[in-house]
Chain A
Amino acid sequence: MSYLLASGCSWTVKDFNSEAGADVDCSFPKWPELLGKQLGIPKVVNVGNNGSSNASIFDRCYNEIINDKPKLCCISLSGWDRRKMFNNNFNIFTNLKTYELHKKNKLSGDRYDFTEYYENNQSEITYAKFLWENRINVASIMDDTLRDMFLFQSFCEQHKIDYLIIQSLQPIWKFWRDPQGFIISKSSPSFTENKRTDYMDLYNISNYIKHFLNSPYTSKLNESNLLGWPFFWEIGGLSVHDIFENEGYDKFKLHPNDPHPNALGHQKIANLFYRGYMDVYGKIL
């Protein structure tokens, strides 16, 4: 019997520790281990990594597969604005939001405290601003993840590896948007300081969804293996975050100040994968 390979961001990490405090117990089993038990696969390789971008999530799968082919690969995607550079991962919208909160003297806001993050991530924040003001476009944000999914799907089909993909966070998290659907807020310095002529494309969530629907990759994806597809709640998809919200997020939350999944949340994710596996492959391994 081959093994179960699981990859994702902090929602997957086996030894996850909460930044909400050392007293928050995170020793419960995570979804890959729970899923392995449900499917009767004794060997589980969990390559989840904190802060991971989707590109990095797929890279770590290939790094395992090159050495030993798994029976099943389960992917839990992260925010689509995240990017890797070599082995580093950048959370672009977190950095932009932090910059905005800093300029508004709201780092320690009512939901999350970004003070420490701002102090420890100056280079990344500066670089995120540089990218936002000069380089990023909607097409590249959307196509990068869609292309990675398409390549991974092609790869698994060629090598006869069972696979399932789920979206943990919302692809473009609601927290980054204002009530009108603008990415970051319209009063953000990232907005007002921006000199680009195409800046409006970047701020309006509907442009991301339009590009998602029109991307040449979207029609080539095998939807049955993508649980919650098309992932964006605006067009009828679901992320795990949305499922938690629909059922009352608080009961799945690790801590009032930490939205990562608790033991019940991880069990929920394992169940989603298990049901997805039964639907797609219709068998117990």
Chain B
Amino acid sequence: MSYLLAVGDSWTDQNFKSDILPKYDCSFPKWPNLLGDKLKISEVVNVGRCGASNDWMFNKCYDQIAKRKPKLVFVLLSHWSRHSIFNYNFSIYDLLGADYAAASGMISPDLDYWKYWIECERDAVEMAKYLWSHDLHVTDIINHTLREIWLFQTFCKQHNISYVIMSALEPIPTSDPWLQPFFKHDRSAADPELADITSYMKKTLKSPYTSRLNEKTILGWPFFEHIGGWSVWSNFVEKENFSFFIDPELDCHPNALGHKNIAEMFYRGYQNIYGKIS
């Protein structure tokens, strides 16, 4: 019996710890292990990492597959605006949003963590600002993740690997309270469409990659709620299942119950796609 390979960001990371609530016990089992139990696969390899970008996730899958072929791969995607460079995950909208929130007094004193984070990432913030105002385009952000998904599907098909993809977060963090005023008030973008949230959805629908994706293996496709998709995040929030979060006010990562729910979603998705548990 081969193994289950799982990848994602902080919503998947085996060693996740809440930076904002460091005393919160995060030792509960994460969704990859819970899913392994449900599927009766004893070996689970979880390569999830906090802050991971989608391209980083797929890269880690390939790295693992190149060493040993898994039986199943489960990918829990993150924001599409993240990008890995070398082994570092550059989260452009998180950086811009947090910087904007810090500068405009939106970060309350009990969220010193974010101020500390912004200080540590100061050079990355400057790079994010530079990209935003010089050469960043909605099409590039959208195609970056779509191309990765398409390549991964093509690769898995060729190598006869079963897989399921789902998204933890909204593709673009449109409901992030820090980013809404940023999108609204910052007018320095090189591409004016960057501040228009609907443009991301339009470009997704028009991308040449979209029509070539195998939607059957992507749960919640096309992920954006406004065009009929969903993410785990939107699923939790829409059902007002705030009990799935560590703390709905301070840390919206999934708690033990949230991880059980994610495992259940993947499990049902797997059954629907592949119709069997082996």
Interface residues of A (CB under 8 A from B): 59, 62-63, 66-67, 83, 85-88, 90, 123-124, 126-127, 129-131, 134-137, 139-141, 143-144, 147, 150-151, 154-155, 157-158, 216-217, 220
Q: Is A123 touching B147 in the complex (CB atoms < 8 A)? A: no
Task: Classify the secondary structure of B's interface with A.
Answer: helix
Partner of B59, one of A63, A147, A158, A220: A147
A139, chain B: closest CB distance, angstroms: 8
A220, chain B: closest CB distance, angstroms: 6
Bound together, the chains give a CA A59 to CA B147 distance in angstroms of 8
Q: Is A151 touching B66 in the complex (CB atoms < 8 A)? A: no
Q: Nearest 8 A-B pairs (CB), nearest first?
A: A130-B123, A135-B88, A123-B130, A216-B66, A140-B87, A87-B140, A86-B140, A140-B86
Bound together, the chains give a CA A158 to CA B150 distance in angstroms of 14
Interface residues of B (CB under 8 A from A): 59, 62-63, 66-67, 83, 85-88, 90, 123-124, 126-127, 130-131, 135-137, 140-141, 143-144, 147, 150-151, 154-155, 157-159, 208-209, 212
Bound together, the chains give a CA A37 to CA B34 distance in angstroms of 59
Q: Is B151 touching A137 in the complex (CB atoms < 8 A)? A: no
Residues in A with CB closer than 8 Å to B126 are 123, 126-127
Contacts A62-B151, A85-B85 hold; do A127 and B66 have CB atoms under 8 A apart? no
Q: Is A85 touching B90 in the complex (CB atoms < 8 A)? A: yes
A229, chain B: closest CB distance, angstroms: 18
26 A–B pairs (Cβ distance < 8 Å), ordered by A? A59-B147, A62-B150, A63-B143, A83-B86, A86-B131, A86-B141, A87-B136, A124-B130, A127-B126, A134-B88, A135-B85, A135-B88, A140-B86, A143-B59, A144-B59, A147-B63, A151-B62, A151-B155, A154-B155, A154-B158, A155-B154, A155-B155, A158-B157, A158-B158, A216-B63, A216-B66
Q: Is B66 touching A220 in the complex (CB atoms < 8 A)? A: yes
Bound together, the chains give a CA A263 to CA B87 distance in angstroms of 38
Bound together, the chains give a CA A160 to CA B208 distance in angstroms of 20
In this complex, what residue of A is CB-closest to B139? Answer: A87
Residues in B with CB closer than 8 Å to A124 are 130
B102, chain A: closest CB distance, angstroms: 19
Bound together, the chains give a CA A214 to CA B212 distance in angstroms of 35
Q: Is B150 touching A66 in the complex (CB atoms < 8 A)? A: yes
B109, chain A: closest CB distance, angstroms: 28
B80, chain A: closest CB distance, angstroms: 10
B176, chain A: closest CB distance, angstroms: 19
In this complex, what residue of B is CB-closest to A64? Answer: B208
In this complex, what residue of A is CB-closest to B212? Answer: A66
A18, chain B: closest CB distance, angstroms: 22
In this complex, what residue of B is CB-closest to A137? Answer: B87
Q: Is A129 touching B86 in the complex (CB atoms < 8 A)? A: no
In this complex, what residue of B is CB-closest to A88? Answer: B135
Q: Which one of A130, A139, A217 has the highest number of Cβ atoms from chain B below 10 Å of its Cβ? A: A130
Bound together, the chains give a CA A255 to CA B154 distance in angstroms of 44
Residues in B with CB closer than 8 Å to A157 are 158
B128, chain A: closest CB distance, angstroms: 10
Bound together, the chains give a CA A140 to CA B63 distance in angstroms of 11
Residues in A with CB closer than 8 Å to B123 are 126-127, 129-130
Contacts A87-B135, A147-B59 hold; do A137 and B86 have CB atoms under 8 A apart? yes
Residues in B with CB closer than 8 Å to A137 are 86-87
Residues in B with CB closer than 8 Å to A216 are 63, 66-67
Contacts A155-B154, A158-B158 hold; do A88 and B143 have CB atoms under 8 A apart? no
Bound together, the chains give a CA A83 to CA B199 distance in angstroms of 26
Bound together, the chains give a CA A159 to CA B124 distance in angstroms of 39
Contacts A63-B143, A130-B124 hold; do A83 and B151 have CB atoms under 8 A apart? no
Q: Is A87 touching B63 in the complex (CB atoms < 8 A)? A: no
Bound together, the chains give a CA A19 to CA B230 distance in angstroms of 49
